[in-house]
Amino acid sequence: DTGVSQNPRHKITKRGQNVTFRCDPISEHNRLYWYRQTLGQGPEFLTYFQNEAQLEKSRLLSDRFSAERPKGSFSTLEIQRTEQGDSAMYLCASSLDQGHKNTEAFFGQGTRLTVV
């Protein structure tokens, strides 16, 4: 499978617990993005990496959220002390940076988080 892979696909957790999601991008892609999508809305940008460097973080990414991409390949997104408002679909995408040429981002199937 050469697409973007996300695990797990679904996660149910109790409020206050920590959760971690994993994203494996397309292998030659140097950019990796995390988005959050709530019901009836479009995806909202959370953060992105160029190789292992985290270059931009949205204000949506509170201090309970942390993302890593330690070797410039897969990435993890951790949410500490989950709240019900964190319930959403978390989407990962990757793309190949070619300077100023716009390139499309390819998305994974997402991880649906439900906080109860």
Partner 1 sequence: AQKITQTQPGMFVQEKEAVTLDCTYDTSDPSYGLFWYKQPSSGEMIFLIYQGSYDQQNATEGRYSLNFQKARKSANLVISASQLGDSAMYFCAMREVNTGANSKLTFGKGITLSVRP
Given a contact cutoff of 8 angstroms between Cβ atoms, the answer to whether 57 and 48 are in contact is no
Residue reference for tokens 């500490």: 80
> Which residue ranges make up the site for partner 1 (CB under 8 A)?
31, 33, 40-45, 48, 55-56, 58, 89, 91, 93, 97, 100, 102, 104-110, 112
Q: 103 vs 29, 30, 99, CA distance in Å? A: 11, 12, 10
Give dist(CA 73, CA 50) in Å, integer.
Answer: 10
Least distance CB 81 / partner 1 (angstroms): 26
Least distance CB 41 / partner 1 (angstroms): 6
Query: Smaller CB distance to partner 1: residue 18 or 41?
Result: 41
Least distance CB 112 / partner 1 (angstroms): 7
Give dist(CA 27, CA 34) in Å, integer.
Answer: 17
Given a contact cutoff of 8 angstroms between Cβ atoms, the answer to whether 107 and 56 are in contact is no
Query: Smaller CB distance to partner 1: residue 80 or 112?
Result: 112
Query: Smaller CB distance to partner 1: residue 12 or 55?
Result: 55
Q: Residue 83, Cα to own-chain centre: how many angstroms? A: 17
Least distance CB 105 / partner 1 (angstroms): 6
Query: Smaller CB distance to partner 1: residue 14 or 59?
Result: 59
Residue type, 64: R
